[in-house]
């Protein structure tokens, strides 16, 4: 698999979903394998550097595309992830998560359960 696409509806306004998912302080709350995430600036813009830690290993990505409440794309030499946000109604957002690798196979694709956790965390606030 070179690409993994997951769509989920979250019962929160698009602005809130966007803010939560782009804030590195929140990532560990919904992505179980990321213990910590930091960014060199927040709010982000094109060129912002994000780093996330899994155990002793740090992965670095750069914001390649950024449109407030619409699009957020992180990329490094191997991997890219794009979040697309669409307002369904005032209090509902469609989030499309798309991850891909530039070569080879996507060995550990994100699962729908991870996005269900995101939905749960956001909707319980």
Task: Give the mean pLDDT of 31-59.
Answer: 96
What's the pLDDT tens digit per position in 47-97? 999 999 999 999 999 999 999 999 999 999 999 999 999 999 899 999 999
Residue closest to 64 by CA, chosen among 43, 78, 53, 49: 49
Q: What is the extent of the structural domain holding 16? A: 3-124
Q: How many domains does the chain have?
A: 1
- The pLDDT value recorded for residue 1 is 56
Considering the entire predicted model, what is its pTM? 0.94
8 DSSP β-pair partners = 95
- CATH code where residue 95 lies: 3.30.530.20
């Amino acid at each position: 698999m070179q690409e993994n696409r997951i769509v989920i509806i979250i019962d929160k306004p698009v602005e809130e979903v966007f803010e939560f998912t782009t804030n590195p302080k929140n990532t560990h709350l919904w992505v179980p394998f990321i213990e910590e995430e930091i960014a060199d600036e927040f709010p982000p813009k094109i060129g912002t550097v994000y780093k996330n830690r899994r155990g002793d290993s740090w992965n670095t990505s750069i914001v390649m595309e950024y449109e407030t409440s619409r699009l957020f794309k992180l990329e490094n030499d191997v991997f890219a992830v794009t979040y697309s946000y669409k307002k369904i109604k005032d209090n509902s957002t469609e989030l499309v998560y798309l991850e891909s690798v530039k070569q080879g196979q996507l060995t550990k694709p994100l699962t729908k359960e991870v996005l269900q956790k995101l939905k749960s965390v956001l909707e319980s606030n």
